Structure 1
Amino acid sequence: MRAEDVEALRKDMLAVIAASAFALRDTIGKSAFDERVMTAMGKVPRHEFVPIEFQPYAYANIPLPIGFEKTISQPFVVALMTDLLDIKADDSVLEIGTGLGYQAAILAQLARKVYSVEIIEELGQKAKQRLRQQGCSNVELKIANGYHGWSEHAPFDKVIVTAAPDLIPPPLIHQLKAGGKMVIPAGLPNRQQLMLAEKLANGRMTMKEILIVRFAQLEGTGSGL
């Protein structure tokens, strides 16, 4: 893709994200996303994080297949989930579900350190390569079942989950710092809600439903697995 084409498509993507946020202001509780989030969305080349055959559609506000029956979320949802976390520059962030690394690359612009877990080895290896090419040196990735989090580096200031369990996994709650935030889609496949969970100083969790969403199921949490 030519640089000038990418630039124009990226500007269009940001305009669509901004318009969508304004249109859904009553649902998401604000009319615009944080400037740092929008800057990160504008900086990371989304076309480098999708399979080559889908690069022409990389900046459309739609999810795209990345193989293994997984998708890269639509840009608006990536921006929304990132914004809800309210990431600070010195935060340590845990991501469950690396995919090809796009969300991790966005987080890398905002946080001190990103720990990302991907269950499918081939996706994880491709994500490592893409993140390295983009200079995301503050992202550490491992191949594992994200249901269990990454206890060695816990507790985390923020946790983001890009696949949906029926219920929030207890290990992820345990690995979240007091005062920390988690953004996670949860619920049965046809009734998922994007949730903002916050851990209070006393360890209790508060939950807020943000938006109806549709994500792939978090591996290892379904019936019979």
Structure 2
Amino acid sequence: MSFDVARRKMVQEQIVARGISDRRVVEAMLKVPRHIFVQEAFAAQAYSDSSLPIGEKQTISQPYTVALMTELLGLTGTEKVLEIGTGSGYQTAILATLADRVFTAERIRPLALRARKCLDSLALFNVMLRINDGEGSPIGWEEEAPFDAIIVTAGAPAVPAVLTEQLAPNGRLVIPVGDEEEQRLLKIERQADGTFETAVSVGCRFVPLIGKQGW
């Protein structure tokens, strides 16, 4: 099966069939080639219904999870987005296809460099990537705040206040919160008056968020 055929099958069976209805998200999932973001040994499994190892004890998320988290952000194309945890760069590529600008931070240098190469190969030059590999590196990207949307691709024990503070009014934060074994996806929206509303989505399992705001 060709990658194009496998990608269309993935979107129809794993994304649309499970209730992802945002047309722009569906089109982005059809457009971005997931197989270039996985290790060559796993390329044949790139469109399977599962997460896959990408090295450095990290994973690329299940396609449905990527689509769901993206849909929860409600992107229209004008947003300035912050991503915590670049990883393979696949989620970054989906965001960059749907938003105006993406700021993404990764703590593992080899992953960040590989992700940058993949993003550049797709001409996704609206992505600013920072490597936070030093001890005590602050979470977020305070000097570029506020953000219209923030996505965290690692499980946290609680919602980091430093991230909600970096949300613009009416901005949305999507983050997995729970223990190190299992989390729930949360969507936190900053209201115009500065208060926050939280909605709980599905159960999930991510690698742990590392640092002062994580594990």
| Category of TM-score, reference length = shorter chain | over 0.9
How much has 1:33 moved relative to structure 2? 2.0
Alignment map for 1:14-163 (pairs within 5 Å): 14-16=11-13, 17-21=15-19, 32-144=20-132, 148-163=139-154
Residue equivalent to 1:201: 192
Whole-angstrom CA distance in 2 between matches of 1:174 and 1:217 = 22
Deviation of residue 189 (structure 1)?
1.8
Output the amino acid matched with 2:18: S
| Counterpart code for 2:17 | A
Q: Distance in 1 between matches of 2:128 and 2:70?
A: 18
Q: Which runs of 5 or more residues in structure 2 are unaligned?
A: none
Q: In structure 1, how many angstroms separate the alpha carbons of the residues matched to 2:12 and 2:22?
A: 14
Shift of 1:222: 4.3
Question: Alignment partner of 2:9: what SS?
Answer: helix
Unaligned runs of 5+ in 1: 22-31
Q: Distance in 2 between matches of 1:11 and 1:222?
A: 36
Asked if 1:165 is matched to 2:165, the reply is no
Query: What displacement does 1:42 show?
Result: 0.3
* Residue identity in the other structure for 2:96: A
Contact kept in structure 1, 2:182 and 2:206, CA below 8 Å: no
**Correspondence for 1:217:** 208
Question: Matches of 2:181 and 2:90 in 1, distance apart?
Answer: 25
SS in 2 for 1:90: coil
Provide the TM-score with structure 1 as the length reference: 0.90
Q: Do residues 13 (structure 1) and 4 (structure 2) align?
A: no
Q: Cα distance, 1:180 vs. partner?
A: 0.5
Structure-2 separation of matches of 1:65 and 1:38: 24
Distance 1:143 1:173, change over 3 A: same
SS at match of 1:148: coil
The list of structure 1 runs, each at least 4 consecutive aligned residues, that deviate by more than 6 angstroms after superposition, is none
Q: Is the 8 A contact 1:70 1:216 kept in 2?
A: yes
**Which letter does structure 1 place at the counterpart of 2:24?**
R
Give the number of the structure whose residues are more often helix, by fraction.
1
8 Å Cα contact 1:49-1:100 kept in structure 2 = yes
Partner of 2:170: 179
Deviations 1:83-124 (A, max 9, x none): 110012110000000001000100111100000000111111
Distance 1:125 1:191 in 2: 29
TM-superposition CA deviations, 1:161-189 (whole Å, max 9, x none): 10011011111111010110011001112
Q: Give the whole-Å Cα distance in 2 for the aligned partners of 1:96 and 1:90.
A: 19
CA distance in 1, matches of 2:146, 2:165: 8
Counterparts of 2:169 and 2:196, CA distance in 1: 9
Moved more, 204-213 or 214-223: 214-223
